[in-house]
Amino acid sequence: MAATKLRLIVAALLVIAAAAADAYTNHTVGGDAGWFFDSTTNKTSADYSAWAANATFNLGDYLIFNTNTNQTVIQTYNRTTYSSCIIDDALDSDTFQYDGGRNEFGSAMTISVALTIEGTQYYFSDANDGEQCQQGMAFEIKVEHGLGLPPSLNQPPPPAYVPPPGPANDEGQSPPAAIASTPPSSNHAIILVLASLFLCFLV
């Protein structure tokens, strides 16, 4: 009896979880306030830690930074780099700069960052020698699995076709067909099928 109830509860939770994570979200950093630092008052235009704490981030979502070239957008997976507020010692393998290499002051820019790795990651602006970051141009997020990566972010380009060596290589051969891309909604179906299989094993 108890086991049957438990199975029903698990099934219901799985369905709810699949439905809740039914779409990818674009998160505008700081909401309407955007990603800005006022150098005269030393203040950020939003409380970015509070903003980040109030959202759920999933694989395949984007962070949208509405900002200008007075701020930078640094993404890092390295807590030491994040805490230091500077990227002088940062490793290329875990820290990425998204400011597009522009250095004139105050030009508007929008930076989109796709969330492609599950787990904790950090963002900050290292402008003004790290002072912006020290004053709160910094936040941390935890990326959940959600629906998983959509095909558009998931599939590396297929490797170039190399004809097999030897004289037997005539025109009967054709390159391997590219894997057809599936729409994101099919992930949903896969989750449900897997969940059903899992439940069958439990019974």
Ligand X SMILES: *[C@@H]1O[C@H](CO)[C@@H](O)[C@H](O)[C@H]1NC(C)=O
Q: Return the number of other C-beta atoms located less than 10 Å from residue 54's C-beta.
A: 9
Rule CB under 6 A: is residue 103 a binding residue for ligand X?
no
Rule CB under 6 A: is residue 42 a binding residue for ligand X?
yes
Residue 92 CB, nearest approach to ligand X (Å) = 11
Q: Which of 78, 97, 154, 182 binds ligand X (CB under 6 A)?
A: 78
Q: Which of 68, 97, 154, 182 binds ligand X (CB under 6 A)?
A: 68
Sign of the alpha-carbon torsion through 8, 13, 19, 21: negative
Residues 172, 17: Cα–Cα separation, whole Å: 48
Residue among 99, 146, 104, 149 at smallest CA distance from 123: 99
Residues 184, 202: Cα–Cα separation, whole Å: 28
Residues 89, 98: Cα–Cα separation, whole Å: 17
Residue 122 CB, nearest approach to ligand X (Å) = 11
Say which residue the tokens 């800005």 belong to: 36
Residue 20 CB, nearest approach to ligand X (Å) = 15
Q: Which of 41, 92, 159, 177 binds ligand X (CB under 6 A)?
A: 41
By CB under 6 A, the count of residues binding ligand X is: 22
Rule CB under 6 A: is residue 94 a binding residue for ligand X?
yes
For binding to ligand X (CB under 6 A), which residues are involved? Answer: 26, 39, 41-42, 50-51, 54, 62, 68, 70, 78, 80-81, 84, 89-91, 94, 105-106, 112, 131
